[in-house]
Amino acid sequence: MTLPAVVLAAAVLTFLLPRLAGVDTVRAVLRTRIAEAEPDPAAARVAVELGLAGRRAPGKGRASPS
């Protein structure tokens, strides 16, 4: 196999792996970007005003041992 064919095969495999695993690529990228994003000061002020500061969304965080 020539080098361009190997590179093409690797690119196609890389493109198809998330789809074969059943992962939504767009959601995975958005989750990563949101997790790395700096918190918005305006949103933090609104959260404090609404009494939402410090709360975690359901399903976020560690599971409690049972």
Domain parsing of the chain, residue ranges = 14-49
Q: What are the residues whose beta carbons fall under 8 Å from the beta carbon of 18, sequence distance 6 or more?
A: 24, 25, 28
pLDDT in tens, 6-65: 999 999 998 898 888 888 888 888 888 887 878 788 888 888 888 887 655 555 555 545
Q: How far is CA 60 from each of CA 7, 14, 35, 63, rounded to the nearest angstrom? A: 39, 29, 12, 9
Whether 28 contacts 18, CB under 8 Å? yes
Q: What is the pTM of this model?
A: 0.38
